[in-house]
Amino acid sequence: MQIEVEAIELGDKDFFEIRDYVKQRFGISMGDEKRTLIYSRLRPLLRDRGYDGFEDFLEWVRNDKSGEAQTLLASRLTTNHTFFMRESEHFDMLNSLVFPWIEQEFGREKDLRLWCAGCSSGEEAYTLQILAQEYFEHKGGWNLEILATDISEKVLAQSYQGVYSKESLSVVPDSWLKKYFNAYDATNMIVKDSVKKNVTFRRYNLMEEKMPFKKPFQVIFCRNVMIYFDAPTREAMARRFANVLTKGGFLFIGHSESLSNLDVGLGYVRPAVYKR
């Protein structure tokens, strides 16, 4: 028998336990104002899974060894809203300052090491890859593979597919559309394989204390992700980012975010941009 989803209530005990679990497992802080969001996003999941209450649902999440439950929980509670060329001044800075610095400092090894952390549905990662190809493609022999990670397998699957609505591509230059995208159907376009092959999408939880990277990055983009975390968590995460940045490397965060007054080994460059 299908559970009547309207009959399910989110009591104080269940809310507090879900909130504490999400904070402990994913580092995401959700105050009392997020109660309605938690309820509205999780109750369809309870219905689909046949649970008649949040207590049984949370028990499944805690005890599931496959990781499926935790992935579903994270996917439902994190907002994935992005589009191509979002906060374009950061991309202008890449072209005018960061890529020339990389070309000068790493011209011998010709290895671009860029990480798009919290890549969501892939628009930012593909924007970064296209920018890199535009800048380096005629400079001879550069490795332009970049890493893109997210905790949600759902958005990673969407990213890997690379299909986007024409509306989300409205600010992309026509020359890019012709060079880097193909028509998919009447309302969507798909990223060409020449771009896809250089972007590696992986599932990764930014709360992991040890970052499993063999070589440091020259650039890390982690924009509009830290807004979910409290100050101590942001500080610990930023310090881990600093530890995997090469000397002189850049961290880009969202314009609504800040690392001011945090001792993380990064210096302020301009709003939402820091340098090791």
What are the helix (H) ranges across 168-217? 174-180, 193-196
Model confidence, pTM: 0.73
pLDDT at 224: 82
Measured distance CA(219)–CA(222) in Å, rounded = 10
pLDDT at 27: 65
Grouping H, G, I as helix, E, B as strand and the rest as coil, residue 43 is helix
CATH of the domain at 32: 1.10.155.10
pLDDT tens, N- to C-terminus, the chain (276 residues): 444 445 678 888 888 888 888 877 766 777 787 788 788 778 877 877 888 888 888 888 888 877 677 777 876 776 554 546 666 788 889 999 999 999 999 999 999 999 999 998 899 999 999 999 999 999 989 999 999 999 888 889 989 999 998 878 877 888 999 999 999 999 999 999 999 999 999 999 888 888 889 899 999 999 988 877 788 888 999 999 999 999 999 999 988 788 888 889 999 999 899 999
CATH of the domain at 261: 3.40.50.150
- Domain interval for residue 158: 88-275
Amino acid present at 28 = I
Using CB atoms within 10 Å of the CB of residue 211, give its burial: 0 to 12 exposed, 13 to 18 middle, 19+ buried. middle
Measured distance CA(255)–CA(235) in Å, rounded = 17
Which helix (H) or strand (E) segment holds residue 97: the answer is none
Q: Which residues are identified as catalytic?
A: 41, 150
Together in a domain, 100 and 149: yes
pLDDT at 13: 87
Together in a domain, 150 and 225: yes
Together in a domain, 63 and 116: no
Whether 83 maps to a domain, the answer reads: no
Together in a domain, 168 and 220: yes
Together in a domain, 217 and 128: yes
Together in a domain, 137 and 215: yes
Cβ distance 132 to 108 under 8 Å? no
Whether 93 maps to a domain, the answer reads: yes
Amino acid present at 104 = Q
Together in a domain, 58 and 157: no
As for how many domains the chain has, the answer is 2
Whether 11 maps to a domain, the answer reads: yes
Whether 226 maps to a domain, the answer reads: yes
Together in a domain, 110 and 72: no
Mark which of 77, 110, 133 sits at the end of a domain: 77
Together in a domain, 63 and 124: no
Whether 82 maps to a domain, the answer reads: no
Measured distance CA(234)–CA(257) in Å, rounded = 10
Mark which of 77, 105, 121 sits at the end of a domain: 77
Together in a domain, 244 and 115: yes
Together in a domain, 56 and 193: no
